[in-house]
Amino acid sequence: MSGVSVVERDRIRIWLARWLLVLGAVGIGLACWSVIAGDVWRAGIASAATACVLVAAGGLVTSAEAPADRVFASLVDRAFDGAVLGGIAWAYRLDEPWTAAGAVVALCSSFLAAYVRARGASLGYGVDEGLVTRVLRYGLVSGGLITDGLGWALWVLAVVMVLASVVRASQVAKEERA
């Protein structure tokens, strides 16, 4: 038997999740700043590191029953999309409009998927964001920044998030009919 009680373990888990989310927010700022400054490789590394931190924090927040922490985790997750994809759209708008358009479409479709999930959950339907969707979002953005394949990565992300929106909306519709 360990000397740590279940309550203490949950407190440690929540504390760790909160600090990881704060660290993730700092990483988001660094990734966004690097994109706007034109240091794409550094932005890719920062977004990849931030993605790892946010995935770990998301796992801790999910297992810890703290509603305010889930809201904070969701907020930081949306901040990743808003800041990094918004920064990409801004930085590439003149030189590579195809990439900037991909960033805008990916951002909008990502926010739409998040809205459908949140709205379905608020109505009591079981619409969860899986780890796979989150990892795909982070991975496509980070991988595109690191490998110089950003335009295609963003358009793939846009398609994935549109499909996620459709699947989530169909889940809500199925549960509504049942």
Task: Give the model's confidence band at 1: pLDDT under 50 very low, under 70 low, under 90 confident, else very high.
Answer: very low
- CATH classification (class only), 6-177: mainly alpha
Residue extents of the structural domains in the chain: 6-177
Output b/e per residue, 81-93; b: 16+ Cβ within 10 A: bebbbbbbbebbe
Amino acid found at 175: E
What is the predicted pLDDT for the residue at 168? 87
Total-model pTM: 0.89
CB-based burial label for 56 (10 Å; 0-12, 13-18, 19+)? middle
89-98, 128-137, 150-159, 161-170, range with the lowest pLDDT: 128-137
pLDDT of residue 64 exceeding 70: no
Find out whether 54 and 24 touch, Cβ atoms under 8 Å.
yes
CA 78/CA 83 separation, integer angstroms: 8
Tens-digit pLDDT profile for residues 78-128 = 999 999 999 999 999 999 999 999 999 999 999 998 898 888 888 888 777
